[in-house]
Amino acid sequence: MLQTLEPLDEGRKCFRLVGGVLVEQNVGSARPTVQGNMDNLKLVSLHLRATHACVALQTSVSVQLSAHGAAGSMKKVRQLVL
C-alpha cells in the first residue's frame, strides 16, 4: 500500500475504509496513518512469534518432564518461566 502511495502527489485524492465507512482523504494525510498501521502490524506479528515460541518451549518441557516421570514438576517450571 505504501509503495502505491509513494510516487503520488500529496494533494491527490484517495479513499480509505475506516470502520466500514469509505472516507475521502488526500495522500498527504493518509500516508502517515497507513505507515502507523503497518508499524503496529509488525509489532503484533513480533509479539505473536514470541508467544508462539514460548508456547512451543513450554510444550517441549512438558513432553520431556512427562517422558522422565516428572510431570508434577511442570507447575513449578511454569512459575519459573512466567
What does the pLDDT look like over 27-79, one tens digit per residue?
Answer: 999 999 999 999 999 999 999 998 888 888 888 887 777 777 765 565 666 66
Sign of CA dihedral 17, 19, 21, 25: negative
Residue 6 has pLDDT above 70, yes or no: yes
Q: Which residues pair with 35 in a beta bridge?
A: none
Q: What is the pLDDT of residue 52?
A: 87
| Cβ atoms of 3 and 27 closer than 8 Å | no
Q: What is the pLDDT of residue 13?
A: 94
Other Cβ atoms closer than 10 A to 22? 8
Q: What is the pLDDT of residue 62?
A: 79
Residue 9 has pLDDT above 80, yes or no: yes
Distance, CA of 82 to CA of 78 (rounded, Å): 6
